[in-house]
């Protein structure tokens, strides 16, 4: 069962199964001191009553624990028979558990009970380690305590059997606790200082080996793969810059272009991630990078995740370079065969300069004469394997790669998930943008919201209304959306309304989007399918229904759909009254800030890195056992720097001192992500 439920199949697995928390069992509360929001409490008292209470079909066992200061209610819903037989009335117990509040009374549900005076249940010094288990294990009574006991008996046999995984010089230099001592300590800490040291060492090791692997791959790629040096800035770039560019570049855009210019100027392949909040002007940077390729006799391509986005890029870019005598084409799933034929020919003859499209670009039939630059927009929609396919469009030297994302990624995540890429950030919006004003309202303000929408539409604006649709197959959500649509059409009989959701045929969806874009419809009722990239500058209000059901980065993405024109834009978050603390935090973060990076950090804090958008497709195993990317920033930084230094001096890890590290990488399954395919 341990194997099946927790992946623990060997002693080694067991030893590396770390506690998720420690509880100081030296502290006792009196009953009067207990408050419902305390994470856990420990009290001593006498069991004064114990009886089964039935409410309908549900039975519960209720006990009353007394001390000098009051009475505490103890409740069991399960194992009633066993508890009733084993607990003794008028006996003193040590009670441990999480307090909660019900009908104004504080109680503890399913407390741990130990007779007072029995050998204390903390065989491991003063801190009791707690381990995660699963529902299935708990059904078989394999609670945290049982796992702890298994580990403790294993620890007795441990000394002398654990091989160190880090070189002695590194242990000395960073004053790290040896592995064996760390493992013993982390399961059986004697004091907080040692515990901190042990955890530091184990976290460091975990992050260090990942960094060693990522940086090792990066290094080997940089030495193995040449790149085409774009030696000159030429006619296209200069003409565009001086005669066509409709506005001044922002400083951030200039800086990023310089970084790209430096990369592509070397004879090494560029692999750069460009992060920039929605509306920060990434398209322009992409276009100007493509012009660098063109100036050096190369072709470029740009891949977007959806047809409508590809179309939009094609339109925007065609307009920007109109008059420059460049050949640009659009290739998507719905491109006609005859057109396709022409595109293929022009690509191979080298006549076509820039190809924009969807993943249709990846198809084997698409081959270039001389592909110099690949631009991938909205990275999180593409898997690593798809990235790799574009690399292979050239036989010998791979094209330079620029990956763009509008989902700001916390720094620590970027260092791991995109650790093999160099990162550029556009951290400045074009001038004159008015920040979107965000409000959070409950149902009681709906009438006002509706008036406001009417006022905005009458003033010429357009409005999005977004409904949650967690999974496209959830019928009830679709019903919500359709009801919402009906409701909106009734409320606003004077305006035409569009509706899009993921179940519509792509052609139908695109038609509705187009109608909205052209202003034919004034209100767009939609699910999050509109989340990515669509540009309708005239839309100035984003209403998000049941906003408590959206994740933070999704809310931020949605908000990015407005605020693209000259008008003041608004984002209105509607929620029910009853929302969790976490939802409340998400919504208040949205109201407080427009800063995508701040939001990304908060998102990671609230959700943990494993759930963040993009990490699933990233190919990296996010089963970090002890390190936490949202908390261990400094350790991660140290791990990355240390790994970098070591690789700099010994890229192959060939020295006798570093052999141990090579062994560590090989035995570390966790770092076997798919980048190896690319490299
Ligand atoms: P995103 O980073 O979300 O892809 P876009 O490239 O779509 O952003 O740019 C958003 C809008 O800002 C576009 O309408 C674009 O023309 C405009 N824009 C981009 N750069 C500048 C600039 N330097 N000055 C003024 N407007 C700009
Ligand atoms: Mg964009």
DSSP string of 570-589?
EEEEEE-S---HHHHHHHHH
Residue, of 113 and 26, whose pLDDT is higher: 113
Torsion angle defined by CA atoms of residues 299, 302, 303 and 307, in that order, rounded to the nearest 10 degrees: -110
Least confident of 114-118, 223-227, 243-247, 345-349: 114-118
Portions of the chain given CATH number 3.40.50.300? 235-426, 437-593
pLDDT at position 566, please? 80
Residue, of 120 and 519, whose pLDDT is higher: 519
Least confident of 98-112, 239-253, 326-340: 98-112
Flag whether pLDDT at 119 surpasses 60: no
> Which structure tokens are listed for 557?
């993405």
Longest dimension (CA), the chain: 94
Least confident of 9-18, 187-196, 306-315, 470-479: 470-479
Portions of the chain given CATH number 2.40.50.140? 2-157
Torsion angle defined by CA atoms of residues 351, 357, 363 and 366, in that order, rounded to the nearest 10 degrees: 0
Cα gap 121→154, rounded to integer Å: 18
Pocket test for ligand 1, best of 321, 408, 425, 430 (most atoms within 8 A of CB): 430
Cα gap 453→154, rounded to integer Å: 66
pLDDT at position 379, please? 60
pLDDT at position 471, please? 55
Flag whether pLDDT at 283 surpasses 60: yes
* Sole residue written with tokens 């978050």: 573
Flag whether pLDDT at 378 surpasses 90: no
Flag whether pLDDT at 618 surpasses 70: no
Residue of the CA atom closest to atom 13 of ligand 1: 281
- Of 328, 339, 343, 410, nearest to 375 (Cα)? 328
Give the sheet arrangement for strand 497-500, strand by strand.
437-442, 570-575, 539-544, 462-466, 523-526, 497-500
Give the pLDDT band (50/70/90) at residue 421. Answer: confident
pLDDT at position 121, please? 46
Across 534-552, average pLDDT: 90
pLDDT at position 663, please? 87
Cα gap 221→400, rounded to integer Å: 13
Q: How far is the CA of 561 from the centre of ligand 2 (A)?
A: 11
Give the pLDDT band (50/70/90) at residue 339. Answer: very high
Q: How far is the CA of 532 from the centre of ligand 1 (A)?
A: 15
Q: How far is the CA of 309 from the centre of ligand 1 (A)?
A: 15
Across 631-651, average pLDDT: 91
- Regarding the beta carbon of 281 and ligand 1, being less than 6 Å apart is answered yes
Second-level CATH architecture of 235-426:
3-Layer(aba) Sandwich (3.40)
Strands (E), 406-560: 422-426, 437-442, 462-466, 497-500, 523-526, 539-544
pLDDT at position 623, please? 61
Give the pLDDT band (50/70/90) at residue 250. Answer: very high
Q: pLDDT tens-digit profile of 429-450?
A: 888 788 899 999 998 999 999 9
Residue 578 in contact with residue 560, Cβ under 8 Å?
no
Q: How far is the CA of 70 from the centre of ligand 2 (A)?
A: 62
Residue 571 has φ and ψ, to the nearest 5°, of -125, 120
pLDDT at position 116, please? 83
pLDDT at position 614, please? 43
pLDDT at position 17, please? 94
DSSP string of 597-640?
HHHHHHHHHHH-GGGSTTHHHH------SS--TTT-HHHHHHHH
> Which structure tokens are listed for 521?
């419809």
Residue of the CA atom closest to atom 24 of ligand 1: 430
Cα gap 547→543, rounded to integer Å: 9
Across 79-107, average pLDDT: 90
pLDDT at position 385, please? 60
Q: How far is the CA of 279 from the centre of ligand 2 (A)?
A: 7
* Sole residue written with tokens 């998000």: 544
Looking at the CA of 315, name the nearest ligand: 1
Q: How far is the CA of 359 from the centre of ligand 2 (A)?
A: 16
- Regarding the beta carbon of 250 and ligand 1, being less than 6 Å apart is answered yes
Q: pLDDT tens-digit profile of 545-598?
A: 999 988 888 899 889 889 888 889 999 999 999 888 889 999 999 999 988 888
- Regarding the beta carbon of 408 and ligand 1, being less than 6 Å apart is answered no
pLDDT at position 540, please? 94
pLDDT at position 434, please? 84
- Regarding the beta carbon of 280 and ligand 1, being less than 6 Å apart is answered yes
Atom of ligand 1 nearest to the CA of 316: 16
- Regarding the beta carbon of 212 and ligand 1, being less than 6 Å apart is answered no
Q: Is 618 exposed, middle or buried (0-12, 13-18, 19+ CB in 10 A)?
A: buried
Give the pLDDT band (50/70/90) at residue 138. Answer: confident
Average per-residue pLDDT in the chain?
Answer: 86
pLDDT at position 620, please? 45
- Regarding the beta carbon of 563 and ligand 1, being less than 6 Å apart is answered no
Task: Give exposure, 169-180, as e/b (b: 16+ Cβ within 10 Å).
Answer: ebeeeeebbbbb
Q: How far is the CA of 391 from the centre of ligand 1 (A)?
A: 28
pLDDT at position 480, please? 78
Looking at the CA of 281, name the nearest ligand: 1
Matching CATH number, 437-593, of 3.30.450.20, 2.160.20.10, 3.30.70.2860, 3.40.50.300? 3.40.50.300
Cα gap 126→413, rounded to integer Å: 35
pLDDT at position 675, please? 39
Across 356-362, average pLDDT: 90
Atom of ligand 1 nearest to the CA of 283: 6
Residue, of 393 and 139, whose pLDDT is higher: 139
- Regarding the beta carbon of 249 and ligand 1, being less than 6 Å apart is answered yes
- 521 Cβ partners below 8 Å, 6+ apart? 462, 495, 496, 497, 498, 512, 515
pLDDT at position 621, please? 45
Across 14-41, average pLDDT: 87
Looking at the CA of 274, name the nearest ligand: 1
- 600 Cβ partners below 8 Å, 6+ apart? 407, 408, 409, 410, 413, 553
Cα gap 63→73, rounded to integer Å: 6
Q: How far is the CA of 280 from the centre of ligand 1 (A)?
A: 6
CATH 2.40.50.140 fits 2-157, yes or no: yes
pLDDT at position 172, please? 96
Cα gap 142→150, rounded to integer Å: 10
Pocket test for ligand 1, best of 284, 308, 530 (most atoms within 8 A of CB): 284
Flag whether pLDDT at 210 surpasses 80: yes
Q: How far is the CA of 519 from the centre of ligand 2 (A)?
A: 21
pLDDT at position 518, please? 92
């Amino acid at each position: 069962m341990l194997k099946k439920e927790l992946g623990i199949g060997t002693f080694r697995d067991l030893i590396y199964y770390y506690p998720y928390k420690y509880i100081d069992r030296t502290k006792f509360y009196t009953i009067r001191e207990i408050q419902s929001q305390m994470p856990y409490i420990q009290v001593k008292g006498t069991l004064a009553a114990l009886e089964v209470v039935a409410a309908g079909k549900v039975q519960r066992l209720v006990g009353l624990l007394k001390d000098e200061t009051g009475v505490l209610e103890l409740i069991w819903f399960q194992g009633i028979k066993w508890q009733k037989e084993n607990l003794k009335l008028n006996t003193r117990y040590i009670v441990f558990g999480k307090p909660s509040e019900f009908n104004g009374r504080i109680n503890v549900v399913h407390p741990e009970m130990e007779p007072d005076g029995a050998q204390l249940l903390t065989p491991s010094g003063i801190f009791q380690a707690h381990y995660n288990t699963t529902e299935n294990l708990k059904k078989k009574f394999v609670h945290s305590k049982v796992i702890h006991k298994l580990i403790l008996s294993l620890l007795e046999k441990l000394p002398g059997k654990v091989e160190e995984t880090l070189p002695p010089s590194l242990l000395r230099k960073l004053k790290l606790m040896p592995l064996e001592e760390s493992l013993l300590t982390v399961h059986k800490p004697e004091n907080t200082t040692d515990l901190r040291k042990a955890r530091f060492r184990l976290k460091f090791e975990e992050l260090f080996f990942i960094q060693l692997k990522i940086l090792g791959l990066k290094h080997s790629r940089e030495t193995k793969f040449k790149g085409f040096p774009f030696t000159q800035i030429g006619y296209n770039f200069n003409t565009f810059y001086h005669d066509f560019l409709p506005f001044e570049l922002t400083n951030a855009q200039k800086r990023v272009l310089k970084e790209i210019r430096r990369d592509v100027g070397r004879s090494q392949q560029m692999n750069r991630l460009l992060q920039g909040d929605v509306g920060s002007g990434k398209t322009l940077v992409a276009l100007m990078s493509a012009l660098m390729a063109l100036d050096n006799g190369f072709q470029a391509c740009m891949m977007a995740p959806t047809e409508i986005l590809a179309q939009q890029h094609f339109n925007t870019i065609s307009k920007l370079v109109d008059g420059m005598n460049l050949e640009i084409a659009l290739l998507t799933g719905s491109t006609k065969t005859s057109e396709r034929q022409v595109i293929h020919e022009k690509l191979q003859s080298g006549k076509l300069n820039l190809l924009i499209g969807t993943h249709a670009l990846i198809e084997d039939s698409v081959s270039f004469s001389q592909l110099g630059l690949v631009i991938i927009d909205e990275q999180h929609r593409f898997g690593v394997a798809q990235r790799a396919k574009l690399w292979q469009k050239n036989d010998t030297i791979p094209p330079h790669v620029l990956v763009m994302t509008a989902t700001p990624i916390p720094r620590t995540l970027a260092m791991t998930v995109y650790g093999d890429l160099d990162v550029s950030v556009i951290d400045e919006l074009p001038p004159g943008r008015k920040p979107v004003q965000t409000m959070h309202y409950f149902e009681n303000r709906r009438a006002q919201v509706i008036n406001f929408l009417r006022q905005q539409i009458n003033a010429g604006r357009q409005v999005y209304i977004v409904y949650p649709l967690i999974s496209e197959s959830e019928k009830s959500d679709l019903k919500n959306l359709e009801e919402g649509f009906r409701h909106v059409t009734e409320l606003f009989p004077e305006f035409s309304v569009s509706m899009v959701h993921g179940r519509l045929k792509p052609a139908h969806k695109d038609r509705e989007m187009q109608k909205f874009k052209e202003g034919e419809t004034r209100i767009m009722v939609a699910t999050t399918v509109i989340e990515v990239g669509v540009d309708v500058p005239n839309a100035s209000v984003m209403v998000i229904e049941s906003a408590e059901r959206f994740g933070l980065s999704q809310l931020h993405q949605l908000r990015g759909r407005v605020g693209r024109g000259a008008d003041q834009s608004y984002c209105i978050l509607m929620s029910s009254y009853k929302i969790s603390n976490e939802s409340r935090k998400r919504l208040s973060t949205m109201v407080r800030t427009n800063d995508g990076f701040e939001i990304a950090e908060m998102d990671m804090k609230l959700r943990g890195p494993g759930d963040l958008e993009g990490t699933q497709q990233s190919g990296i195993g996010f089963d970090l056992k002890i390190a936490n990317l949202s908390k261990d920033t400094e350790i991660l930084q140290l791990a990355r720097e240390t790994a970098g230094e070591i690789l700099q001096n010994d890229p192959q890890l060939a020295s006798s001192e570093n052999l141990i590290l090579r062994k560590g990488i090989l035995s570390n399954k966790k770092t076997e992500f798919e980048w190896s395919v690319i490299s």
